[in-house]
Chain A
Amino acid sequence: MSEEKERQKPRISRRQFLTYTLAGTAGFLGSTMLYPMVRFAVDPMLKKGAASEFVDVAAVDEITTTPKSFQVNVKVVDGWYKPEEGQTLTAWVMKQDNGEILALSPICKHLGCTVTWEGSPEHSNEFFCFCHNGRYTKEGINVPGTPPNAPLDEYETKIENGRLLLGPIKKRGV
């Protein structure tokens, strides 16, 4: 093949060129239209949760070795809904054998129902979840063979002037 012919051979046909330019332009215009809307829709996924503060819950003296439930009133920001009265969370608080205070979240690690201390007459000295009979020891460790597969979460705790303050909920470092 002569060089002349090689140069004349079209690498891309007119039809292909037009298809690519039209599709490219349409794609560009379409995506500038869709990008803001899609980003708008997925924004909640990309937002960081607000840091929660420590809240005064009880006098340290009130806390015994038996888990007792206390109400924790926290501010919530649920989109445009910011209830003035806040939202009430529950904490199961006890003094451990080593004297440290443990404040457990009542949210079951199986599928999120609410556990209660000695919630089942058949299982004394345990936390019980009535949804699927999940059980936890007094320290909130899940009992093997029951549905939950992790220990209950705990609140961060702080003691100031003989008062117990509870902070954000965190996973147990077990």
Chain B
Amino acid sequence: MKNAMIRLVGIGKHFGEIVALDGVSAEIRESEFFSLLGPSGCGKTTLLRMIAGFDEPSTGEIYIDGKSMDGVPPNRRPTNMVFQNYAIFPHLNVADNVAYGLRAQRQAKDEIRGQVSETLEMVGMAGFENRQSHALSGGQRQRVALARALILKPKVLLLDEPLSALDRQLREQMQTELRHLQRAVGITFVFVTHDQEEALTMSDRIAVLFDGKVAQLDSPIELYRRPANKRVGEFIGVMNFLRANLISEFPGGYEVDVEGLGRVAVSMRQAPGGASASRLLAGIRPEMLTLVFDDADSSENYAKGEVVDTQYLGDMTYYEIALDGAGKTVTLSMRNTAGRPILAPGTGAKVRWTPESVLLLN
């Protein structure tokens, strides 16, 4: 495993009465694309600004590359930041913006010019040296902000919701480009976003932040498959929650009674938090349930119900299904493969599940 590039140890931050961060601990690895994901106001920007050195933590300590950052000002930290509004210097042209940090290091003019055009080329802005900054589009400003930070070859690049101001198409294009860029330069990226899809597609690992606390820190796959609690499960993708009661514990798992499904034997692996509470929740992703169209299907694990709503999306169809004996409907998604019928609301439905479909949450 790679070394820790950033170590956050029990970071707390309060602004007067407001607690913005509360005991955040995490390790961000070298050359990793790390995302801070959470709803607006959960403390992402605050944490990023403390890593950059614009704010001091109220409690706890930050280490970057093994060194404590206590009292180290932003201009002496091996980090650079891409601001949410890009903060392009309006009175300087593109080349002067990008060269801004290098000029502080008193390098030769030719050397600087070479590096500027090299970096601009890397972010897809070759030939834009003399463009005035007010004549740049949103996407171009973003690239200039990236170039301006990357030219200094920081150990860590901090990005605060850099894509949120862009329109959808450009945003998706920049997601891919940013990911490629990060792989190419091998710099640790700490990327702040409130968009779970963005975080899932781009990151090596994600820390989900709720109310100033880390709710879960995992790879995108683990986060999606095994969210630590209901709130994380809801925040990332769609998840159905059915009430469940513990029947018994057996070696390697739990036997539970799930409303609408009946008895399910859940393996330990699908119950990351154990089954301590008496009232449990069964979390099921829409694609973990399948409609059975073939009456001859002999599998045992199925539930009966009725289609309440059908949402046809071209490649996929989403169904709302009222399971017999369940208090609320479940969402189920089916890929529209050749010859597969689409069920209309009101039709009876047979839903198949497997024990692996179910995640047991407290």
Asked if A and B are interacting partners, one says: no
Chain A residues within 8 Å of B, Cβ to Cβ: none
Chain B residues within 8 Å of A, Cβ to Cβ: none
